[in-house]
Amino acid sequence: MAEAVDSAARNVVVFLRDNAQRSLTPPRLDYDQAFQAHGFATRFVPVLATTTSPTPSSLKVLLSSREHDFRGLIVTSARGVAAFVAAAKDSGPTQDAWLPKPIWVVGNATAGAARKIGFTDIRGESSGDAERLADVIIADADAARSISDVQTPSATEISRGRCGWLFLAGDKARDMLPSKLHAAGVCFEKHEAYATSGSLTFAADLAACFAALPRVTAGLPPPVWVVFFSPSGVDLALPELKNQQERSGRALRWSSIGPATSARLVELGEQVAAEARKPCAEEMLAAILHATATDVPL
């Protein structure tokens, strides 16, 4: 049975992710700490499950045989870092060859994952999303006068080691970053390093989450905040969230980790009440606190 609580503890935030995915970059707070410190009750319901690439050996071969072909890596999530570790873990020399290279990342969580395994030249941490990361990479290429004369590297150019960056992408990665890099003539090669799919237990986990929401003894309960972390998470979670909203009678407010996720919600006809300026707990908290105080969509 749901527990009755006073009004100070009735603000609930449901994060569509695993609570184990904590920030690895001090002094960043994880979502649990940041929101509980401001009186929110936190719930975590993973919507995505991650697997390695359908052909994981291909990444292993790529990393071990062509490390001299690339200046470094582009990784837009901690899952990409995990895929790198999985492919390089059995070969110390392979990992050692890549760790001194630059790695472009989106957000402090990805930067923290890269830093934890030994990368030191970490770039783009404050970019916030893949589109802005592309802009930073392009600006760096302009400054270094290293933009290729062609938009797409040929097989011959790749074989001669002229492909600048290795982009470890997921199967659902959007084309924004590759498209911008291609248009600017930045030389890179994209490799599908991991795949994401819907969690098989999401519907049951979400139902259990709503069943355990604090019971309000008087007046209307405040809206439940739901935080989306990716466009694919929106696609997978939204139908079931609508079902739970109808069953529970609780009002839900959508918040997102960044522009791409917000854009997907808007494409589906939803209103985004809060959007983090950067993909971290502090910025997500600030956006929700602002939206709660003003009670209007941002």
In total, how many domains does the chain have? Answer: 2
The pLDDT of residue 142: 80
Q: What is the pLDDT of residue 297?
A: 45
Same domain, 186 and 70: yes
Q: pLDDT (tens digit, 9 = 90+) per residue, 279-289?
A: 889 999 999 99
Quote the CA–CA distance of 267 and 282 in Å, as a whole number.
Answer: 26
Its pTM stands at 0.76
Name the least confident of 51-55, 128-132, 175-179, 275-279.
51-55
Does residue 1 fall inside a structural domain?
no
Q: Are residues 30 and 58 in the same domain?
A: no
Identify whether residues 105 and 142 lie together within a single domain: yes
Q: What value does the mean pLDDT take over residues 51-78?
A: 84
What is the overall mean pLDDT for the chain? Answer: 83
Going by C-alpha positions, the residue among 175, 192, 283 that lies closest to residue 229 is 283
Q: Which domain holds residue 152?
A: 51-197
Q: Domain for residue 113, yes or no? A: yes
Q: Is the pLDDT of residue 193 over 70?
A: yes
**Do residue 131 and residue 62 come from a single domain?**
yes
Per-residue pLDDT tens digits for 141-171:
887 654 444 445 544 444 444 568 999 998 8
Edge to edge, the sheet with strand 72-75 lists: 48-52, 188-198, 165-170, 72-75, 103-105, 122-123
- Mean pLDDT check: name the lowest of 23-32, 182-191, 211-220, 250-259: 23-32
Q: Which of 44-58, 197-211, 220-234, 264-278 has the lowest mean pLDDT?
A: 44-58
Q: Could you say which of 169, 197, 225 is where a domain stops?
A: 197
Say yes or no: 182 and 206 in one domain.
no
pLDDT given for residue 9 in this prediction? 44
Tell me the residue ranges of DSSP E strands in the chain. 12-15, 41-44, 48-52, 72-75, 103-105, 122-123, 165-170, 188-198, 224-228, 252-256, 272-275
- CATH of residue 100: 3.40.50.10090
The model's confidence at residue 105, banded by pLDDT at 50, 70 and 90, is very high
Tens digits of per-residue pLDDT, 106-151? 888 889 899 999 999 999 998 878 888 999 999 988 876 544 444 4
Q: Is residue 241 situated within a structural domain?
A: yes
Do 188 and 56 fall within a single domain? yes
Residue 135: CA atoms inside 13 Å, Cβ hemisphere, count?
A: 6
What is d(CA 290, CA 293) in angstroms, rounded to the nearest whole number?
Answer: 5
Give the pLDDT of residue 263: 93
The residue out of 132, 163, 197 marking a domain boundary is 197
Query: Is 213:248 a contact under the CB 8 Å cutoff?
Result: yes
pLDDT at 141 (0 to 100): 85
User: Where among 152, 171, 197 does a domain terminate?
Assistant: 197
Q: Is the pLDDT of residue 55 over 50?
A: yes
Whether residues 55 and 192 share a domain: the answer is: yes
* CB-neighbour burial class of residue 20 (10 A; exposed 0-12, middle 13-18, buried 19+): exposed
**Same domain flag for 19 and 79:** no
Q: Quick check: 27 pLDDT over 60?
A: no
Q: How far is CA 102 from CA 24, 72, 98, 173, 253, in A?
A: 19, 5, 9, 21, 39
Query: pLDDT at position 214, please?
Result: 74
